[in-house]
Amino acid sequence: MPASSVDTFFACSLMVILVVSAMAATVKVVQPHIDQISEKRRAERSEGLSKYLLQSTGIPIDWGKLEHDIPIAFGLASGARGPYELDPDKVSRLNGENIHSITYTDIMSTLGIEDMSLSIQLRPLFDVSASLASTRSTETEATYTFQLSTTKSGLPLSTWLKCYAVVGAHIGNTSSSTASNGIGFANLSLPNSLHGPALLVAFAKAKASSHLISFTVLSFGHNSDTPQPNKTFVRLSPLNHSLNVSFRQPNLTVSKAYVFTCNYQFNLSEVATGPETIEYIIPKLVDSSPMILTINGDNASTAFAEWTAYPQLPLQIGPDFTDVTTRSQSVTSTHVVNINSVLYEFLTTCQSVMDQNA
């Protein structure tokens, strides 16, 4: 090959190498910007979807009260009050424990979303936990001291406390508070003439705002063995101010049903009875508080005391994005919402189907 041809060949090869290298460098420079744009679009889409769920009532507007009906269009807004005011029945139908719940597939189908997975969480704005600290007995009664802890994002929160202890037909109550360290105590006495599973129902109201309320329920044995876990005997489904009690075990007898709020306590009135179901009316209480519904009964050999909340919270529906890989590829939007004058935390987490398959 002539020298000039060799020189030309090497010159052309060098040009190709330089062009390819430049293209590779351009990809390395541009790719982070492409990723940023993609992440921004995912965040905008997630935020837009979250606001739609909170601001739309869905179709029909009262689909939450229609028991077994699936909405034509999905939305959680109450439609009767201010922005981000959610309907307690629509919220309750997101809880899989409710006999009238709608499925994740139903939600995604009504939203018309095929290229994205969605997780919805709804929970109180702060946490309450309770434990039995000590017991003191006399000939006539047992006095239980409970330790309660209130925290927000792991930090202590000072709150007012309202606590009830219920065993059978007896209910005791007391008021207390948690200090600046988030710790408080409640003393409640129960008569020794009674025995069986008992429940501590505790409400905590932030001292900074009467609309910041959380709750917890603790089961304990009063002159008896440790009770069975909640949801062992009955399935409790509140909807449209009615409580459906479905038996999980045969030969159950329900003796008492109650509703508790921060300021009130009432017996529930039975309105219908079936072979393995009972229905109660839930009173419409004018109280800025979640409702805790409790049921006492037995199956001829074992007594039980079980409970649920109305609205039926906390809840989570959809995929779990908590592992490191899926969390890094997902986008979460958080909003503060209002249900019956109580504030809650609403979270939507979205992830594209392409990210899941990557």
pLDDT in tens, 203-255: 999 998 999 999 999 999 999 988 999 999 999 999 999 999 999 999 999 99
Residue 40: predicted pLDDT:
75
Burial of 90 from C-beta contacts in 10 A (0-12 / 13-18 / 19+): buried
CA 92/CA 315 separation, integer angstroms:
9
> Which helix H or strand E contains 189, and what residues bound it?
strand 183-191
Q: What is the 3-state secondary structure (H, E, C) of 296-316?
A: EEECCCCEEEEEEEECCCCEE
- Identify the DSSP state of 32: H
Percent of the chain residues past pLDDT 90, beyond the cut: 73
Interacting residues of 338 by C-beta distance below 8 A, sequence separation 6+? 81, 82, 84, 85, 86, 211, 344
Cα gap 23→12, rounded to integer Å: 17
Tokens standing for residue 125: 């704005």
Average pLDDT of span 34-61: 81
pLDDT in tens, 309-331: 999 999 999 998 876 455 557 89
Burial code (b: 16+ CB inside 10 Å, e: under 16) for 186-223 equals bbbbbeeebbbbbbbbbbbbbeeeeebbbbbbbbbebe
- For residue 290, pLDDT over 90 is answered with yes
Q: Among 110, 61, 118, which residue's Cα sits nearest to residue 90?
A: 61
Residues 217, 201 contacting (CB under 8 angstroms): yes
Say what the pTM is: 0.86
